[in-house]
Amino acid sequence: MLLLVATFFMAFVLLLYMLSPLISPKPLALPGAHVVVTGGSSGIGKCIAIECYKQGAFITLVARNEDRLLQAKKEIEKHSINDKQVVLCISVDVSQDYSQVENVIKQAQEKLGPVDMLVNCAGMSISGKFEDVEVSTFERLMSINYLGSVYPSRAVITTMKERRVGRIVFLSSQAGQVGLFGFTAYSSSKFAIRGLAEALQMEVKPYNVYVTVAYPPDTDTPGFAEENKTKPLETRLISETTSICTPEQVAKQIVKDAIVVTMGLFRMLSLLYLRSFDTIIRRCMVERTKYEITDKTA
Amino acid sequence: MLLLVATFFMAFVLLLYMLSPLISPKPLALPGAHVVVTGGSSGIGKCIAIECYKQGAFITLVARNEDRLLQAKKEIEKHSINDKQVVLCISVDVSQDYSQVENVIKQAQEKLGPVDMLVNCAGMSISGKFEDVEVSTFERLMSINYLGSVYPSRAVITTMKERRVGRIVFLSSQAGQVGLFGFTAYSSSKFAIRGLAEALQMEVKPYNVYVTVAYPPDTDTPGFAEENKTKQGNFNSSIGSDGYMLSSLTCGMAPVTSITEGLQQVVTMGLFRMLSLLYLRSFDTIIRRCMVERTKYEITDKTA
């Protein structure tokens, strides 16, 4: 009897919460919208730009390398659906200096109007054991992946709050949901993105600005190729438990989730996964120790 | 029938996991152990140093300000339980330069032997709205709270792995479990600590080195006495009933060191998620009310 009452009560509360107007934000209309994509010259960023462009948006691509920006621009423009669409390219390092980033956003807004959606794709990945990774890597990854998302977001947030409309997308990673072997520096930067996004969303929700955090799995991009260069064996073996995606798949899902604004069993499964990871790591360690012993006795 | 089978199967798997030798790490013996506490001259760090000292450890305090270090040293030494105990003070900024930190750890190890436990308490907190906080704050908090934990950890990890014993403690925060209004810069740095700790734990587990992440409430420093995290090597360390709920709710893919912890998480997850949604709704209401008030105030200001 008590259980029944409790269930009804919970269901009622959840219903209330569901009907709360904040739950169903109006979808962002992409045709004519101004979308800024940092890290938009390659990888997931470029695919997101293409996806938005295909749906009628005006794109500002932000990245460091001018040649790659122009190449990406040409590729994106192939997907135009009308004559008015524009792809603007601006070259800057989004992690270096906030005033530079502010300036870039200002330029973009002068040409294409206020920013409706900002997609923070600028980022890089380096993997390796905690004591093997170069010491500067911790700061570098945090700078590019985290500060490089903070600065552009800060440059657009005031206008978005004033206009009472906006979308900010952050690219975290599955490594930002679980700390994995070989990703001490990378996971930290991607976890930080999540903390930033959660706190930011709480601040901007009353202003009809919505934050999306994406957690892509291993995706077939130049960034991933870079990550694989120094990847330890344990990390590679663990990664084999999930499949690799194409950036197009990832981009489509991210854009869909950004426009529209949504355990028990999973926890058990996650415990099983963790155990298998630990087993892989332990086996590698045993192998390595054996190898060192035979090496010494040889 | 199927449900029964499924339950038995799950129970069997969990039992296996329980019996796995990695589940019950030998408690670290504090008497005679060398404990390094960064940020140990004040706050939680100082209290942790006192607590370890009371249990017989040899302490190395690391902080920036020499006067406060000496004051803390005097305070800690009052709690000595034998003649041999030592409190060593070394002044350095743990977030500036890795080679300096490496040097400090080397000095400490020359005087008090290899480090058995490292407690990363060096940190600071600044809160404010995302667009109001000084731009440099994001980098500063990340530098002190995150890099300031990375560098000392890196300086001790190789020796700990060689000796096959060690504890590394990270201080996150409840703001590192949930991103809160006004904590964009701080929450990010504390979430980063969690990612670091999870990844590091996965790497060092086979070497009998254990990582603990603490999620203290973001207010006054509570007594460290009620926390036995150093003895059991729990991954999650939380305080109070709110803390318990948050830790269970946000356990995510964090590892467990005890079967009861895992079972508790499995059973309470759904309920706590519902509770968390209620909490979030009340936060949103508070924020929305404040915003409406503020807008009204601005309108009356203009018409005045």
Sorted by where each starts, the structural domains of chain B and their CATH numbers stand as 28-233 (3.40.50.720)
Hey, what's the torsion of the CAs at A12, A13, A16, A18, to 10 degrees?
Answer: -100
What is the per-residue burial (b if ≥16 Cβ within 10 Å, else e) of B110-142? eebeebbbbbbbbbeeebeebeebebebbbbbb
Q: Residue-wise pLDDT tens for chain A (298 aa)?
A: 888 888 887 787 677 655 654 445 677 889 999 999 999 999 999 999 999 999 999 999 999 999 999 999 999 999 988 888 999 999 999 999 999 999 999 999 999 999 999 999 999 999 999 999 999 999 999 999 999 999 999 999 999 999 999 999 999 988 898 888 899 999 999 999 999 998 998 888 888 899 999 888 888 888 888 888 888 888 887 787 777 888 998 888 888 888 875 433 444 455 555 566 666 666 776 677 677 666 666 5
Q: Based on C-alpha coordinates, what's the Rg of chain B?
A: 22
**Secondary structure class of A42 (helix, strand, coil):** coil
Average pLDDT, stretch B58-76? 93
C-alpha to C-alpha distance for A105 and A118, rounded to whole angstroms: 10
Nearest chain B Cα distance for residue A28, angstroms: 21
**Secondary structure class of A64 (helix, strand, coil):** coil
Residue A262: per-residue pLDDT: 41
CA distances in angstroms from A179 to A277, B161, B196, B254, listed in the order given: 11, 19, 7, 8
Residue that has been written with the tokens 């994995």 in this structure? A180
Answer with the residue of higher pLDDT: B234 or B68. Answer: B68
- Please, which pLDDT band fits residue B299 given cuts at 50, 70 and 90? confident
Report the 10 Å Cβ neighbour count for B279: 16
C-alpha to C-alpha distance for A119 and A149, rounded to whole angstroms: 9
Which residue in B202, B207, B278 is closest to A277 by CB distance? B202
Q: CA nearest B138: which of A172, A150, A203, A192?
A: A150
Nearest chain B Cα distance for residue A21, angstroms: 12
- Please, which pLDDT band fits residue B20 given cuts at 50, 70 and 90? low
Calculate ∠ Cα B61-B66-B67, nearest 5°: 110
| Kind plus residue range of the DSSP H or E element containing A55 | none
- Please, which pLDDT band fits residue B196 given cuts at 50, 70 and 90? very high
Overall size of chain B counted in residues: 304
Residue A263: per-residue pLDDT: 33
C-alpha to C-alpha distance for A35 and B230, rounded to whole angstroms: 49
CB contact under 8 A, A139 and B147: yes
- Please, which pLDDT band fits residue B218 given cuts at 50, 70 and 90? low
Residue B271: per-residue pLDDT: 87
Cβ neighbours for A238, distance < 8 A, ≥ 6 positions apart: A180, A181, A277, A280, A281
Residue B188: per-residue pLDDT: 95
Residue A268: per-residue pLDDT: 45
CB contact under 8 A, B181 and A187: no
C-alpha to C-alpha distance for A116 and B148, rounded to whole angstroms: 37
- Chain A residues whose CB is inside 8 A of the B192 CB are 142, 146, 188-189, 191-192, 195
Which residue in B135, B202, B291 is closest to A154 by CB distance? B135
